[in-house]
Amino acid sequence: MRKNISSFIGRRRNWSIPYAFFLVFFVLIPLGLIVYYGFTDNEGDFSFTNFRKFWMQPEAMNTFIFSIGIALITTFLCLLLGYPAAYIMSRMNMRGAKILVMLFILPMWVNFLIRTLATVALFDFLSLPLGEGSLLFGMVYNFLPFMIYPIYNVLQKTDHSLIEAAQDLGANPRQVFFKTIMPLSAPGIYSGIMMVFMPVISTFAIAELLTINNIKLFGTTLQENIYNGMWNYGAALSLVMLLLIGVTSLLNNEGNAKAAEEGGLI
Amino acid sequence: MQKSENIIEIEHISHSFGDKTVLDDINLTIGKGEFVTILGPSGCGKTTLMRLIAGFLKASEGKIYIAGSDMTKTPPHRRPVNTVFQKYALFPHLNVFNNIAFGLNLKKLPSTEIKKKVMQVLKIVTMTDYEERDVDSLSGGQQQRVAIARAIVNEPEVLLLDEPLAALDLKMRKDMQMEIKAMHKKLGITFMYVTHDQEEALTLSDTIVVMSEGKIQQIGTPTEIYNEPINSFVADFIGESNILNGTMIDDNLVEFIGHKFECVDKGFGKNVPVDVVLRPEDIYIFEMSDAAKFSGQVTSSIFKGVHYEMMVTTPEGFEIMIQDYHHFDVGKTVGLRIKPADIHVMKKERLCNTFEGTIVDKSHIRFLGHTFKCPTASQFAHGSKVNVNVDFRDVILQDNEEDGMLPGIVSFILYKGDHYHLTVLTEEDENIFIDTNDIWDDGDRIGITISPEAIKIINL
């Protein structure tokens, strides 16, 4: 008996069994359940009612489009703020850059709910209105590090002799940036966009706290439906979001592959 | 009027990184259309010199003229020079065509002209049909060609090449050397080539500039550098050589390894200590006979492909390297002679160590950042500045840094036939020269001791 156990453990492929369990019970089965609920009505019959409801109901549709808008704006603002920061840090000496990267990442050590509540308190203290502005502020504040870090990583690894080669061939500082540094950092930009856009589209806590539930994002709608026992409709909305994220990452992968191939501009 | 003939003029250029001086008062002129090689061991400052000319570094002191105008402070993109980088530095996000067209695109040339020019250089570097290829898919040699094409398509006045063949294997390197030489002929522009490979320098150049420790040691044609090295560093660095201590007895007569030899050098004076350089292929070796000027016993013989490399020890105890097509058995006594024209006599750079010192008190003197005991210090007023001489033989080296009065690092070793002449760098960045029979390695950390009797004080 004892020998059996030890030989069972000894075989390397058996080590993957716990992970297989995990994947089946926490990824595949829940996903299957979501698909099942999404494509059935209250009686458990197969139907497209949930999707039709989403399509016909202007409220849900509007929230959906509004959410994509917020995600796009947040991603754009993060890129606008994050790229220069990453560029400056990549040009600094090693120690200075490390400290700065650390400072940018430091807020992440604090739980993001606490951080967001503190942001609410800050807006309160400065008597600034809570609304779209505060929502964007909270989003950018929370997700900026996810944009800076991948871009910084790529920029910092850029071979300096490529920059010198561009100068040598007659590029002035502006041309060096737009013709070499930026295209070379495209992979960093792509992953930065991914890492900001995806969580922003699905988050609801930030919107809830920073607008005192005045502004609804798609994540909020989803959460409310599930919370109120509308499992079928909620599951369908989840699938819509999954589709959106899937399409985004697919586009991104293509961009990334293209970047790796010829470093196409964004 | 000179300025139009010379494409590059470097005047009193010095450069340092922090407190470390990498270039020390460099003066150099390069003629239009020349193939100039900057040759030296790693860390001699050759790459720094090239980067100053390209404009990637700004000189701490001195002036650089390119094509007649002062470009000391001109940024790289406004200089009429292009560089072939050591690791090629091709843009990974562009294909071969766009890499080569990079410079032309910046100049906003019409696209038909760009296409024509790119196709032309692709033909020169024998890379036609590769224009659509990804640069990462090319071999090292092909990337090298693209890098050269990318530089020469801009028609620079000077092409700078920074060890361009270092990353290629031997066979490839030889082929590329010939191609680069042919390209230079065809293009007619000035090539400035940086390398640590003496053979490459001898093969390619019109002019070789030998550098060491931030200074130019010698400038000359390959034959001049090889046959008439100006000092023991150049003789040792270029090709194989025997470097021996000798005495110039009179014009055309030099004594070394215990014999007097006729030679063709003169003007050194009488009984002057000199260095004698013998190339191993210039020494005749044969069965012992009356024709022998001196004799020796073969101690080792290695087959090197074309020739044998033999070490021969003379009865006086000097070891000499000889290269010959014939093999002589180890242990055999052989006859040796040298033609007068093959004996190269060099003035000695120094006869003993000279340091600047200060008298501390009646029995102490301070130099090299250390206070030494010295009985003869009493003859000088304390605080006075003096010169200190220490013979090469009187410096004692110890294995442990702590055992010596001051620590140092062996930075250069020269075998003189019966002893080693070492250059040791102290922490204060001063050189101490030492003659020793012990074997040390380059880079060894050692302790240095100088006994009170060995210190000779000279009033300034």
What CATH number has the domain bearing residue B253?
Answer: 2.40.50.140
- Range of A200's domain? 58-262
Distance from CA of B256 to the nearest CA of A (A): 51
A41 vs A75 pLDDT, higher one: A75
CA B13 to each of CA A89, A132, B25, B207: distance values in angstroms, whole numbers, following the listed order: 33, 61, 5, 20
Distance from CA of B135 to the nearest CA of A (A): 10
State whether B172 and B321 are in the same domain.
no
Query: Of B174, B199, B232, which residue sits at a domain end?
Result: B232
Size of interface A-B (CB pairs under 8 A): 74
State whether B24 and B60 are in the same domain.
yes
Query: Of B300, B325, B347, which residue sits at a domain end?
Result: B347
State whether B358 and B440 are in the same domain.
yes
What is the pLDDT confidence band of residue A5, given thresholds at 50, 70 and 90? confident
- Residue A216 resides in a domain: yes
The helix/strand/coil state of B317 is coil
Tens of pLDDT, residue by residue, chain B (460 residues)? 344 578 999 999 999 988 888 999 999 999 999 999 999 988 889 999 999 999 999 988 999 999 989 999 999 999 999 999 988 999 999 999 999 999 999 999 999 999 999 999 999 888 988 989 999 999 888 999 999 999 999 999 999 999 998 888 888 889 889 999 999 999 999 999 999 999 999 999 999 999 998 999 999 999 999 988 888 889 888 888 999 999 999 999 999 999 999 999 888 889 999 999 999 999 999 999 988 999 999 999 999 888 999 999 999 999 999 999 999 999 999 999 999 999 999 888 888 999 988 888 888 899 988 888 888 888 888 888 889 999 999 998 988 888 888 899 998 888 998 899 999 988 888 889 999 998 888 888 999 999 888 888 887 7
Q: Note whether B405 and B368 are within 8 A (CB).
A: no
Q: Note whether B423 and B411 are within 8 A (CB).
A: yes
Q: Is B185 exposed, middle or buried (0-12, 13-18, 19+ CB in 10 A)?
A: exposed
Model pLDDT, residue A258: 53
**Residue B273 and residue B271: Cα distance in Å, rounded?**
7
Note the residue count of chain A: 266
Mean pLDDT of chain A: 86
A1 vs A246 pLDDT, higher one: A246
Strands B35-39 and B190-195: parallel
Q: Note whether B22 and B64 are within 8 A (CB).
A: no
B121 vs A198 pLDDT, higher one: B121
The candidate with the shortest Cα–Cα distance to B39, out of B179, B177, B207, is: B207
What six digits make up the tokens of B395?
Answer: 């410096």
- CB atoms under 10 Å from CB of B285, counted, come to 20
User: Are residues A183 and B83, on separate chains, in Cβ contact within 8 Å?
Assistant: no
- Residue A34 resides in a domain: no
User: Are residues B87 and A166, on separate chains, in Cβ contact within 8 Å?
Assistant: no
Q: Does A50 touch chain B (CB under 8 A)?
A: no
Model pLDDT, residue A255: 63
**Residue B351 and residue B182: Cα distance in Å, rounded?**
45
**Residue B202 and residue B168: Cα distance in Å, rounded?**
18
Model pLDDT, residue B315: 93
**Residue B313 and residue B359: Cα distance in Å, rounded?**
46
State whether B109 and B76 are in the same domain.
yes
List the single best residue of B48, B58, B93 to mutate versus A (max A Cβ within 10 A). B93
- Residue A23 resides in a domain: no
State whether B69 and B215 are in the same domain.
yes
Q: For residue range A21-37, list pLDDT tens digits in order.
A: 999 999 999 999 999 98
What is the pLDDT confidence band of residue A261, given thresholds at 50, 70 and 90? very low
Residues 6+ apart with CB under 8 A from B388: B353, B354, B355, B356, B357, B365, B367, B455, B456, B457, B458
The helix/strand/coil state of B434 is strand
State whether B269 and B335 are in the same domain.
yes
Model pLDDT, residue B219: 95
Q: Is the pLDDT of residue A256 over 70?
A: no
Contacts of A184 in chain B (CB under 8 A): 91-93
Nearest 5 degrees, angle CA A79-CA A82-CA A87? 115
**Residue A189 and residue B54: Cα distance in Å, rounded?**
32
The count of C-alpha atoms lying within 13 angstroms of the C-alpha of B183, restricted to the half-sphere facing its C-beta, is 25
Q: Is B30 exposed, middle or buried (0-12, 13-18, 19+ CB in 10 A)?
A: buried
State whether B385 and B451 are in the same domain.
yes
Model pLDDT, residue A262: 39
State whether B92 and B201 are in the same domain.
yes
Q: Which helix (H) or strand (E) holds B273?
A: strand B272-278
Q: Is B186 exposed, middle or buried (0-12, 13-18, 19+ CB in 10 A)?
A: exposed
Number of H helices, E strands in chain B: 8, 30
Model pLDDT, residue B109: 92
Total domains in chain B come to 3
State whether B297 and B223 are in the same domain.
no
Query: Of B347, B373, B404, which residue sits at a domain end?
Result: B347
Nearest to B77 among A167, A186, A261 (CB): A167
CA B36 to each of CA A85, B30, B41, B85: distance values in angstroms, whole numbers, following the listed order: 44, 7, 17, 17
Find the CATH number of the domain harbouring A244: 1.10.3720.10
Contacts of B103 in chain A (CB under 8 A): 169-170
Total domains in chain A come to 1
Contacts of B55 in chain A (CB under 8 A): 167
Q: For the sheet containing B406-415, what is the strand order?
A: B395-398, B445-450, B406-415, B420-426, B431-436
**Residue A151 and residue A251: Cα distance in Å, rounded?**
19
Q: Note whether B182 and B11 are within 8 A (CB).
A: no
What is the pLDDT confidence band of residue A257, given thresholds at 50, 70 and 90? low
Model pLDDT, residue A2: 67
- Range of B338's domain? 240-347
State whether B286 and B410 are in the same domain.
no
State whether B47 and B176 are in the same domain.
yes
State whether B33 and B177 are in the same domain.
yes
Q: Is the pLDDT of residue A260 over 80?
A: no
Q: Kindly provide the ipTM of the predicted complex, given to two decimals.
A: 0.77
Distance from CA of B221 to the nearest CA of A (A): 29
Model pLDDT, residue B1: 37
Q: For residue range A78-137, list pLDDT tens digits in order.
A: 999 999 999 999 888 888 888 888 888 888 888 888 888 888 899 989 988 888 888 999
Contacts of B134 in chain A (CB under 8 A): 261-262
List the single best residue of A155, A168, A181 to mutate versus B (max B Cβ within 10 A). A168
